[in-house]
């Protein structure tokens, strides 16, 4: 386990020093591969600088897949276009040893290429991608290269304790676990930080097996494994390995930060490698400070538990936003007190509710999780638990308020016979893909709703097929 260093702050964004116009006629003689990557817009919403990511491959050992031997060109006619800045991430080499029967899989080298795309509403745009030098790499090096990007993503510090900011947000990662510790809208003062005392505000994964304590990804003193892929357009930070205390539970959390995007892409997984008794399994949790009671007590008065959020919101079955004031109904102990649910619960929502948001109405800032996909299964033939999976929004009067995506909860309230552990089979596997969005909650949450619409309806690759095989 080691800390990953970044020597200098990176600077990238949407303002080009170029762009460089090129005629790609004849470029095929320099590159081994070229592909017309067509992206189509399907919901009538123009796109500006939407992230696009495609995997490129070459035969291992015969050619390279480095950035020096790649060009991405936004086409304006059959042969003319402009060079587009891009970034290479996640190179993988599968070089198989010869097998005795002679049926050795072909070796391959692959990597992902990320760039940003503008596309008109209901339109399509073509990017011609060239990769793999056909001959001497010096010939490719002699071709024009895309201009650098002038401003946008800034990264400082050492992993896991990175600080990341762009035109939309300012985020600090926990120097021990690498989880998101604090965050605020770009350009706002530190007094508007979202925080929860000394604990991160984002719990990627957590498990509770009472009478033992909870185990969260933020309990890592240092991630068992981590990988930082940094660059001017995108930075991807991976953390994975067994939980700090429950060593039979292996997890992964990956943050992707883009230069010109208001959200952080998050993918998380949990794998139970042995049978385990659990009371709760949760993913995608956001926790921020909130007053213990409606009238501040001594702890609240010294500023440790201010009301960082005033409202929650989520969509109903027809997509209309449901808004709830966090302090509208609280008991003497400070817990939420709403009819039809247990004390402390503010909302018990469908497992797949598309988004949940919390915001401060007067200060005009908010944070939301936008859900794209969720998976529950078993890799060893065991049963998949179906014990009250849901989305849970709460305020217990404990100095914080939160929402989470429980994969497993007991069906009974605290103190009832049904409040008991569930046995999870070895091989149980959970996965989620979502984003953390930082937004201004004005105009009926318009910014949030538009961001969700674009996130779940990205530009579509107009793939015409392959084979036949």
Burial of 312 (0-12, 13-18, 19+ CB in 10 A): buried
Give pTM, 2 decimals. 0.94
Quick one: pLDDT at residue 210?
97
- In-domain check, residue 5: no
- In-domain check, residue 13: no
> How many domains, the chain?
2
pLDDT in tens, the chain (469 residues): 444 433 222 233 334 456 899 999 999 999 999 999 999 999 999 999 999 999 999 998 777 788 999 999 999 999 999 999 999 999 999 998 888 888 899 999 999 999 999 999 999 999 999 999 887 777 888 899 888 776 769 999 999 999 999 999 999 999 999 999 999 999 999 999 999 988 999 999 999 999 999 999 999 999 999 999 999 899 999 999 999 999 999 999 999 999 999 999 999 999 999 999 999 999 999 999 999 887 666 566 566 789 999 999 999 999 999 999 999 999 989 999 999 999 999 999 999 999 999 999 999 999 999 999 999 999 999 999 999 999 999 999 999 999 999 999 999 999 999 999 999 999 999 999 999 999 999 999 999 999 999 999 999 999 999 999 8
CATH number reported for the structural domain that contains residue 100 in this entry: 2.60.40
Sequence-ordered list of residues with C-beta below 8 angstroms from that of 82, at least 6 positions apart, any chain: 18, 19, 20, 21, 22, 73, 74, 76
| DSSP E strand stretches across 26-152 | 31-40, 47-59, 70-75, 80-83, 87-94, 108-119, 124-133
48 and 167, same domain (yes or no): no
- In-domain check, residue 465: no
184 and 305, same domain (yes or no): yes
Domain around 444 = 154-456
Per-residue tokens: 47: 């796109």
Domain boundary among the residues 147, 175, 199 is at 147
Q: Rounded CA gap, 309 and 203, in Å?
A: 18
423: helix, coil or strand?
strand
Per-residue tokens: 469: 């095989």
451: helix, coil or strand?
helix
103 and 225, same domain (yes or no): no
- In-domain check, residue 122: yes
- In-domain check, residue 343: yes
Per-residue tokens: 274: 């042995």
Full DSSP string of 283-298: EEEEEEE--SSSS--H
Closest CA to 253 of 385, 372, 431, 73: 431
- In-domain check, residue 280: yes
CATH number reported for the structural domain that contains residue 176 in this entry: 2.70.98.10
């Amino acid at each position: 386990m080691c800390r990953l260093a970044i020597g200098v702050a990176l600077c990238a964004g949407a303002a080009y020093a170029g762009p460089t116009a090129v005629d790609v006629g004849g470029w095929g003689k320099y590159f081994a591969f070229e592909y017309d990557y067509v992206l189509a817009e399907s919901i009538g919403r123009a796109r500006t600088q939407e992230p696009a990511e495609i995997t490129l491959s070459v035969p291992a050992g015969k050619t390279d897949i480095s950035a020096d031997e790649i060009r991405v060109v936004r086409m304006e006619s059959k042969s003319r276009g402009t060079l587009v800045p891009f970034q290479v991430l996640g190179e993988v080499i599968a070089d198989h040893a010869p097998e005795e029967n002679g049926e050795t899989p072909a070796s391959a080298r692959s990597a992902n290429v990320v760039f940003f795309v503008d596309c008109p509403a209901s339109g399509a745009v073509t990017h011609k991608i060239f990769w793999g030098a056909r001959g001497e790499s010096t010939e490719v090096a002699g071709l024009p290269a895309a201009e650098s990007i002038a401003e946008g993503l800034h990264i400082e510090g050492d992993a896991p304790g990175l600080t990341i900011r762009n035109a939309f947000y300012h985020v600090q990662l926990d120097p021990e676990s690498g989880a998101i510790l604090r965050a605020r809208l770009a350009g706002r003062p530190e007094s508007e930080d979202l925080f929860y005392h000394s604990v991160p505000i984002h719990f990627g994964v957590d498990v509770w097996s009472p009478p033992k304590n909870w185990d969260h990804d933020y309990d890592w003193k240092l991630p068992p494994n981590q990988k930082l892929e940094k660059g001017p357009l995108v930075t991807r930070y991976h953390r994975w390995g067994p939980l700090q205390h429950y060593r039979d539970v292996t997890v992964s959390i990956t943050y992707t930060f883009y230069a010109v995007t208001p959200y952080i892409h998050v993918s998380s997984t949990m794998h139970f490698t042995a049978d385990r008794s659990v009371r709760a399994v949760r993913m995608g949790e956001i926790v921020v400070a909130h007053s213990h009671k409606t009238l501040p007590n001594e702890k609240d008065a010294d500023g440790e538990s201010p009301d960082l959020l005033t409202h929650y919101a989520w969509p109903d079955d027809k997509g209309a936003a449901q808004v709830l004031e966090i302090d509208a109904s609280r008991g003497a102990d400070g817990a939420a007190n709403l009819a039809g649910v247990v004390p402390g619960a503010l909302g018990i929502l469908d497992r797949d509710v598309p988004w949940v948001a919390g915001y401060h109405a007067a200060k005009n800032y908010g944070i939301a999780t936008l859900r794209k996909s969720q998976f529950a299964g078993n890799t060893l033939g065991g049963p998949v638990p179906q014990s009250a999976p849901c989305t849970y929004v709460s305020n217990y009067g404990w100095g914080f308020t939160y929402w989470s995506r429980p994969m497993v909860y007991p069906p009974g309230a605290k103190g009832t016979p049904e409040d008991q552990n569930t046995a999870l089979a070895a091989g149980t596997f959970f996965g989620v893909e979502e984003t953390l969005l930082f937004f201004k909650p004005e105009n009926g949450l318009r910014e949030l709703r538009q961001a969700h619409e674009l996130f779940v309806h990205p530009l579509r690759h107009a793939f015409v097929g392959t084979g036949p095989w």
